[in-house]
Amino acid sequence: MSGEQRLRGLNPLHLVASGAIGAAIALLIQAWLLSRGRPSLVPPYSLAVTLTLLAALLISLGLRLRRHMKKGTGAVDPFHAVRLLATARAGQLVGALFTGFGGGLLLSLLGRSVPAPIETWLPMLVTLVTGALLLGCAIVTEHLCRVPPGDDPEGEDGAGLATLET
């Protein structure tokens, strides 16, 4: 690795911490709303649609990059690969945050003596699921940005992330 920095995958502890922060934010918002006598926060379905569209976009761009990598040398724009890698990592953090947020919203309903109606808990569950979908798609996209073994220009063993030489 002479003069070249290897990029490593996102630390799973950062994803867990991001999810915990999302859950804490949701619990604090729900506690504040309930202390004021207001109804629970119910996320709109448009949030779930947006998270799903982001996940689909990440996967499609990752597959497109992988297809260009298989074409051969010179077919991949390194700036595009680095931007996609950064977007995939941001998607992981956002996905973990919204997964935790949806989980925190659902967790706030457990302490109630009267069960919440489906109109309340279903959007919270959908937020949790689509946040997890975005997280999973971002992890797959980060994996798609890896240089396959044997394609490494310096002949090193093992697969690494697509890097930009400095």
Per the CB < 8 A criterion, the answer to whether 94 and 83 are in contact is: no
The answer to whether position 113 is within a domain reads yes
Q: What is the DSSP letter of 72?
A: -
The answer to whether position 28 is within a domain reads no
Q: Residue 166: its pLDDT value, please? A: 35
Cα(141)–Cα(31) distance, rounded to whole angstroms?
Answer: 36
- Per-residue pLDDT for 154 more than 70? no
Question: b/e for 133-163, b at 16 or more Cβ within 10 A?
Answer: bbbbbbbebbebbbbeeeeeeeeeeeebbbb
The answer to whether position 158 is within a domain reads no
Report the domain count for the chain.
1
Q: Residues 6 or more apart from 132 whose CB is under 8 A from it?
A: 95, 99
Six-digit token string for 52: 């799903």
The answer to whether position 156 is within a domain reads no
The answer to whether position 114 is within a domain reads yes
Residues 1-31: tens digit of each pLDDT:
444 445 577 789 999 999 999 999 999 999 9
Rounded to an integer, the average pLDDT of 139-145 is: 92
pTM beyond 0.85: no
The answer to whether position 108 is within a domain reads yes
Cα(56)–Cα(73) distance, rounded to whole angstroms?
Answer: 27
Q: Residue 164: its pLDDT value, please? A: 42
The answer to whether position 161 is within a domain reads no
Residues 45-81: tens digit of each pLDDT:
999 999 999 999 999 999 999 888 887 766 678 888 8
Q: Give the domain range for residue 127.
A: 44-149
- Per-residue pLDDT for 145 more than 60? yes
The answer to whether position 36 is within a domain reads no
